Structure 1
Amino acid sequence: MSIITEKLLEELFLLYSQNSVLKLHGDTLPIETEKLQRTCEHLFALDYNLTLIDNNFQDILCQTYPPKLILTHTVPTIKEITKIHFGETEENLDDKERKSKKKKKGNQKTKKKEKKTEEKEKEKGKEKVMNSMKKKKYKKEKEKEKKKEKGKETKKKSKKKDVPKQKNEKNTKHQKKEKEIEIVKPKKKTKKKKKDKEQKKDPQTEQKELKHPLSSTLLISRDARCRKRFPIEFCYALNKSLCRSSTLSKGIELMFTGKKSPLKTLSGFVPHTSTRKKKKIRNKDPEIQLIQNGKKEILREIKKNVENKKEKFNEGTIPEVRLVDIALMKKVWKIKYIVDLMVEIKKEKYKLIVSSSEKGDSYNRYSTFSINSMPYPGVELFGEFQKNDYNGKGVIYDWDDPINTATLQIDPKLLKFPLLKKINFQNYQKWDIIKLTQNYLKVILTMISDPRKNTGLDIHCLSGWDRTPLFCSLARMSLWADGLIHQSLSPLQFLYLVVGYDWLLFAHKLNDRVKNGYEIFHFCFYFLQFIQNDEFKLLNYQKKWDEFLLKKKKNKNKNKNNGGGGGEWNKGKSGDKKKSNGKGKNKNKNDLKKKKITKNGKNETRGKKSEKSKNKKEKIQKNKEKKESMEHDTRDENIESNSQRVEKLKELQNIFTKFYKKNVLSQFLN
């Protein structure tokens, strides 16, 4: 398993070409999918500590996602995810702090009052108890006297007749006591057993929470996205999660894909094929109980937050699903940037809106994110790439089609970035496929290299299985070539991981696409020859980000100083105008220096100044030499790293073309 041979790659490409979509879910999976899943897990585990999410747990989360979703960092538990706060501002937080302080003060006062009342009640209670005890003693004494008198009378009357009855009564009394003892003993045993069972369940439930920490949120949020392809991480780099998903679904799609939908049979979606009995499992399985409890906690907190905003909330409807989707992106994956590759703002089928992008949300729920509309042509354009003898130069998309309602809209803050200033994005409709993908990839790399916190990334097109894997795999390959991720993998191993996990396990329909001549999969690896320049090296982006953020800080400080009264004119006590610049404070010292004249009539300070100037020049020259040496070393390192980047990408492209032509194209041509 540690070494991937050429035979495994051949099997992978053959499996990819023969099956349009692998059977990824069900009670019994084929051996091929299990083998592929295990090899991908093994390749990830060589560099990372993995956490796995079972996609087949309780109900299939998404039918076109892998059977086990791989994460390369720790994920928050259900309790941490339920702490969701939407749209918190500084004002709201200040109000909450004030309210909490008031509550604490009020609680202290109430506690003092309660203590006093408790002391009074205790004194009254003691008096009542003493009086009741006296009354009980008096009653008991009277009852004993009455019993003695009755016993004496009965003994005199029936001494002879009642002798056998007394014996029998004694025996019955012993039997009753023994029965009572026998009944009490097993009750004590049962209580001990219940306690033991509860103590044994606790460590199991804690471990199972860690196995499926996100399952409760994913069960709710999956309906928010088209074909239930919720946002999931495909790579973790530079302390941020890079995610993939599909676009937002509308109410009509929920009618077709919902659990209680009468229109489900008419839709093109595959129904759930599992034969498990859900009711029995829900009552018995502790893992599912955890998920159900977590789901309830999430919905309670969402209700509170929505009620504060005075919005309508109905369980099982779109608002609930949208809010949980935002919580998943914001609190779990910590996403800031959204790359929308859709050509349309809203997708229509049979004159009905089926799906929509985040920018088309009527309630502006996704306004906190940086939504970047980057329209990219669909699969049909890559038929022309095939007709042009697999050459992307000169292949231009027809943007005049009325379907193309979306326009290019990048965050204006990103456009100020120095590496993006050079690009004229207004001419994007004149670019061919190669230039368009190059410039879009530069935008994605700027988002990835952002050093600030909570700047994750989500890439999606409409359904999320053609254009999204193209840019996701390009980003992964670029980071791998720079040596930032998957450092221990060879080109052959890395190619197996990219093809197997990013494309095949996420249900790319290669067989269908190649038959129709839409070879977007081939274009992805053909495009590697256009990424070998320094323009796509992530270290250059990181350096520019540091310079860019430093300039911002300096500009802010300058504005503060200018507005803070440093250069303003202020009136003194006498009403005269004086500068507050601090100049002219040391005039007396300068006058004294001028008076220090030697016997020869020369100034002593001139010689000292000349010596200081010489020392400064020497220091400046030394600093220049150091900088030049450092730059020379960095240039050498950059040349070496660039050469390594070029070699890696060339090897990867050569291996791909070898196996793709032999095992995929040869079958379809024949």
Structure 2
Amino acid sequence: MSIITQELLEELFLLYSQNSVLKLHGDTLPIETEKLQRTCEHLFAIDYNLTLIDNNFQDILCQTYPPKLILTHTVSTIKEITKIHFGETEENIEEKERKTKNVKKNTKKGNQKTKKKEKQKRKKENNVVDERKNKKEKENEKDKKENQKEKEKEKEKEKEKKKKKKKKKEKGRERGKETKKKGNKTDTTKHQKSKKDKEQKKDPQTEKKEIKHPLFSTLLISRDARCRKRFPIEFCYVLNKSLCRSSTLSKGIELMFTGKKNPLKTLSGFVPHTSTRKKKKIRNKDPEIQLIQNGKKEILKEIKKNVENKKEKFNEGTIPEVRLVDIALMQKVWKIKYIVDLMVEIKKEKYKLIVSSSEKGDSYDRYSTFSVNSMPYPGVELFGEFQKNGYNGEGVIYDWDDPINTATLKIDPKLLKFPLLKKINFQNYRKWDIIKLTQNYMKVILTMVSDPRKNTGLDIHCLSGWDRTPLFCSLARMSLWADGLIHQSLSPLQFLYLVVGYDWLLFAHKLNDRVKNGYEIFHFCFYFLQFIQNDEFKLSNYQKKWDEFLLKRKKIKIKIKKQIKKQNIKNGTNKGKSKNKNDLNKKQILTKNGKNESRGKKCQKSESKKEKMKKNKKKKKSMENDISDEDTKSYNRRAEKLKELQTIFTKFYKKNVLSQFKN
């Protein structure tokens, strides 16, 4: 399975073109999906320690997700996350451990006292037991005599039964001889096989016990918060952060039909009239669900603060349980900060009903803790023009004047201060063609990925999550692979199999339907690789700029603090110090005198600094020449990898997909 030949790739493209969506769930899966799943698992396992979440364990998590979800975390990290990710912080866990240690010490002291009391009780009990033994021995002798008589009677009855069985067997043999003469033969072999099969099933060694993943119960609750139950799941793990994919948020109407609980409660605060009797609260024994229930209180406090700032009323009954778990899963488990919303609409309407909504359209600002970036990207229909234009994306512009396009481009203002994004004028995004639009969006995504701070994960989603999301997810994976950050040991042919099989096919992209209508977004993804070969999309450049950017911010903060202290000293409002004017004047005089004395020393140092600056410039020039040689080599490697990947794709796509639809 490690060696992927050209024949395997041909089979994959043929399978992809013939089936619009594979059967990804159920008790029995076809051989093709199982084979594809195993090969993808093996390709991931070459470079990573995997953990698998069974999608079909007792209940299907999502019908359009792979049968087994692949995570590149180690097993230990996932278990540690599940202990802390809802309700319990690290401080609370440490306090519990201290209490348990103190209880053990107290129990040791108490045990010594109890042992002395127990010895005294045992002596008294032993005297009573001796008297009881004598009585029981007499009673047992009587019982033995009675039991002997009963056994003799039972033996006589068994002899009579054996005689009756012999007579029945003799009659059965006579009947068997008669049937053989007539030709009706009895099959004794079938009965023997059935007994052997039963014995084999009962053996514990042959049975495979399915193990429940610790995140399974949380995903069961959070899946109803998203459209088509496509909850946020990790597709790549880079630089100690998880990159996730999902669909947009679902509204109350979809929850009404998909949720297991009372559907009317999931709507905006409406609860049906019920009896006034108080029902007993049933506690869930699942420890992870108990942690979720404890974690809701902390999340509710944050939501209340955001709502009270806007002077709006807050009712806990109006917020669905499912939405809170979705926030906790993104914030605590995957540690997401940035959300890339590719929807063109703020709220999706069907038959004049709001079916789904994005995080930017949440009325309660529940997702205000995240950095929500509205980056509207045109749907599949625009890629029909890409086909008509001879598979050329230059000059293909989307019609933004359509009334469906309610969303506008809004990127986090802190990100816009980043030096590589300052040059781009995002206000002119409606004039850009598809190539320039995707290029600039990829630059924004790469800045998010290269953020060196902690808890800065990323979630990409469009409406349903199977057309535009795989486009940007696979482009991010391919650019990181070309830089040598992920899947380092995979060849271009192996890596292409993984991208097409896992990112597109197993996550239910409808290729057959899209190619028939001429919406070739899948083809555009690999066609676009020629526009990412530049040095602008190399992640190491973004990492260097981040280091410079964060250093400048620290220096600016230090300057502002110094200025504030000086102003406080002048105004006499310096905290923790005397406010007498005489004391403040003394300090100011000392600082002035210190400056005057140090002027002569500074003049002497300035001459030596100039000499040092000249030497440093010469060193920098020599260093820059060495670095430039390394950059050109790495750039050439990146360009060669992406070119080779593009040529392999076009070869198999034209031969196995486009040729079938033309015929």
The alignment's TM-score, normalised by the length of structure 2, stands at 0.74
2:138 and 2:413 mapped to 1: Cα distance?
Answer: 102
Query: Residue 51 and residue 21 in structure 1: after superposition, are their counterparts in 2 closer, same or farther (change >3 A)?
Result: same
8 A contact 1:567–1:579 mirrored in 2: no
8 A contact 1:572–1:578 mirrored in 2: no
1:424 and 1:306 mapped to 2: Cα distance?
Answer: 37
CA positional deviation for 1:448: 0.3
Higher deviation after alignment, 357-366 or 299-308: 299-308
Secondary structure of residue in 2 paired with 1:337: strand
Secondary structure of residue in 1 paired with 2:286: helix
Question: Could you say which residue in structure 2 is the equivalent of 1:427?
Answer: 428
Q: Match for 2:5: what amino acid? A: T
Secondary structure of residue in 2 paired with 1:632: helix
Q: Match for 1:649: what amino acid? A: L
CA positional deviation for 1:293: 1.2
Question: Could you say which residue in structure 2 is the equivalent of 1:665?
Answer: 658
Question: Could you say which residue in structure 2 is the equivalent of 1:353?
Answer: 354
Task: Please give the residue correspondences for 1:129-144 in structure 2 after superposition, counting only pairs within 5 Å.
Answer: none
Unaligned runs of 5+ in 1: 120-124, 141-166, 179-200, 264-290, 594-604
CA positional deviation for 1:572: 6.1
8 A contact 2:249–2:357 mirrored in 1: yes
1:647 and 1:498 mapped to 2: Cα distance?
Answer: 18
Query: Residue 626 and residue 369 in structure 1: after superposition, are their counterparts in 2 closer, same or farther (change >3 A)?
Result: same
Task: Please give the residue correspondences for 1:152-551 in structure 2 after superposition, counting only pairs within 5 Å.
Answer: 171-172=141-142, 212-259=213-260, 293-302=286-295, 304-305=297-298, 319-551=320-552
2:316 and 2:144 mapped to 1: Cα distance?
Answer: 67
1:590 and 1:41 mapped to 2: Cα distance?
Answer: 69
Q: 1:637 aligns with which of 630, 642, 660?
A: 630
8 A contact 1:54–1:68 mirrored in 2: yes
Question: Could you say which residue in structure 1 is the equivalent of 2:28?
Answer: 28
1:170 and 1:350 mapped to 2: Cα distance?
Answer: 86
8 A contact 1:240–1:455 mirrored in 2: yes
Secondary structure of residue in 2 paired with 1:565: helix
1:16 and 1:481 mapped to 2: Cα distance?
Answer: 25
Query: Residue 538 and residue 586 in structure 1: after superposition, are their counterparts in 2 closer, same or farther (change >3 A)?
Result: closer
1:556 and 1:641 mapped to 2: Cα distance?
Answer: 36
1:57 and 1:655 mapped to 2: Cα distance?
Answer: 37
2:599 and 2:609 mapped to 1: Cα distance?
Answer: 22
2:567 and 2:507 mapped to 1: Cα distance?
Answer: 61
1:550 and 1:176 mapped to 2: Cα distance?
Answer: 98
Q: Which whole-Å deviations, capped at 9, do the CAs of 1:200-240 have from their partners, x for residues lacking one?
A: x9xx99x977x612101111111110000000000001110
Question: Could you say which residue in structure 1 is the equivalent of 2:5?
Answer: 5
CA positional deviation for 1:617: 4.9
CA positional deviation for 1:319: 1.7
CA positional deviation for 1:2: 1.9
Query: Residue 40 and residue 586 in structure 1: after superposition, are their counterparts in 2 closer, same or farther (change >3 A)?
Result: closer
CA positional deviation for 1:53: 0.8
- Percent of pairs identical after alignment? 75
1:669 and 1:331 mapped to 2: Cα distance?
Answer: 49
8 A contact 2:452–2:543 mirrored in 1: yes
Query: Residue 84 and residue 490 in structure 1: after superposition, are their counterparts in 2 closer, same or farther (change >3 A)?
Result: closer
Secondary structure of residue in 1 paired with 2:527: helix
8 A contact 1:231–1:245 mirrored in 2: yes
8 A contact 2:87–2:294 mirrored in 1: no
2:364 and 2:319 mapped to 1: Cα distance?
Answer: 12
CA positional deviation for 1:80: 4.5
1:575 and 1:215 mapped to 2: Cα distance?
Answer: 64
CA positional deviation for 1:250: 1.1
Secondary structure of residue in 1 paired with 2:593: coil
Q: Which whole-Å deviations, capped at 9, do the CAs of 1:385-414 have from their partners, x for residues lacking one?
A: 111111111111111111111111110110
CA positional deviation for 1:5: 1.0
Residue 624 (1) aligns with residue 633 (2): no
Question: Could you say which residue in structure 1 is the equivalent of 2:640?
Answer: 647
1:576 and 1:441 mapped to 2: Cα distance?
Answer: 57
1:313 and 1:84 mapped to 2: Cα distance?
Answer: 22
8 A contact 1:384–1:395 mirrored in 2: yes
CA positional deviation for 1:623: 2.2
Query: Residue 655 and residue 308 in structure 1: after superposition, are their counterparts in 2 closer, same or farther (change >3 A)?
Result: closer
RMSD of aligned C-alpha atoms?
4.2
8 A contact 1:568–1:580 mirrored in 2: no
2:509 and 2:585 mapped to 1: Cα distance?
Answer: 80
CA positional deviation for 1:258: 3.4
8 A contact 1:53–1:69 mirrored in 2: yes
8 A contact 2:87–2:296 mirrored in 1: no
Q: Match for 1:69: what amino acid? A: L
Secondary structure of residue in 2 paired with 1:579: helix
Q: Which whole-Å deviations, capped at 9, do the CAs of 1:157-185 have from their partners, x for residues lacking one?
A: xxxxxxxxxx997731667999xxxxxxx
2:442 and 2:79 mapped to 1: Cα distance?
Answer: 35
8 A contact 2:338–2:371 mirrored in 1: yes
Task: Please give the residue correspondences for 1:577-656 in structure 2 after superposition, counting only pairs within 5 Å.
Answer: 579=588, 582-585=591-594, 616-656=609-649
CA positional deviation for 1:581: 6.7
CA positional deviation for 1:26: 1.4
8 A contact 1:36–1:500 mirrored in 2: yes
Secondary structure of residue in 1 paired with 2:325: helix
Question: Could you say which residue in structure 1 is the equivalent of 2:310?
Answer: none
CA positional deviation for 1:14: 0.6
Residue 41 (1) aligns with residue 41 (2): yes
Q: Match for 1:579: what amino acid? A: Q
8 A contact 2:47–2:489 mirrored in 1: yes
Query: Residue 584 and residue 499 in structure 1: after superposition, are their counterparts in 2 closer, same or farther (change >3 A)?
Result: same
Q: Match for 2:591: what amino acid? A: G
Q: Which whole-Å deviations, capped at 9, do the CAs of 1:595-628 have from their partners, x for residues lacking one?
A: xxxxxxxxxx99xx6xx87765554333222222
Q: Match for 1:301: what amino acid? A: N
1:636 and 1:476 mapped to 2: Cα distance?
Answer: 26
8 A contact 1:244–1:460 mirrored in 2: yes
8 A contact 1:330–1:336 mirrored in 2: yes
1:549 and 1:295 mapped to 2: Cα distance?
Answer: 38
2:452 and 2:33 mapped to 1: Cα distance?
Answer: 38
Q: Match for 1:667: what amino acid? A: Q
Q: Match for 2:644: what amino acid? A: E
1:38 and 1:297 mapped to 2: Cα distance?
Answer: 35
1:619 and 1:441 mapped to 2: Cα distance?
Answer: 42
1:629 and 1:219 mapped to 2: Cα distance?
Answer: 58
Q: Match for 2:469: what amino acid? A: T
2:71 and 2:584 mapped to 1: Cα distance?
Answer: 71
2:599 and 2:301 mapped to 1: Cα distance?
Answer: 67
8 A contact 1:566–1:581 mirrored in 2: no
CA positional deviation for 1:297: 1.5
1:432 and 1:588 mapped to 2: Cα distance?
Answer: 64
8 A contact 2:218–2:289 mirrored in 1: no
1:515 and 1:576 mapped to 2: Cα distance?
Answer: 84
- Structure with higher Rg: it is 1
Q: Match for 1:4: what amino acid? A: I
Secondary structure of residue in 2 paired with 1:221: helix
Secondary structure of residue in 1 paired with 2:622: helix
2:647 and 2:325 mapped to 1: Cα distance?
Answer: 44
Q: Match for 1:373: what amino acid? A: S
Question: Could you say which residue in structure 1 is the equivalent of 2:51?
Answer: 51
2:583 and 2:27 mapped to 1: Cα distance?
Answer: 93
Q: Match for 2:593: what amino acid? A: G
The alignment's TM-score, normalised by the length of structure 1, stands at 0.74
8 A contact 1:343–1:405 mirrored in 2: yes
Q: Match for 1:628: what amino acid? A: K
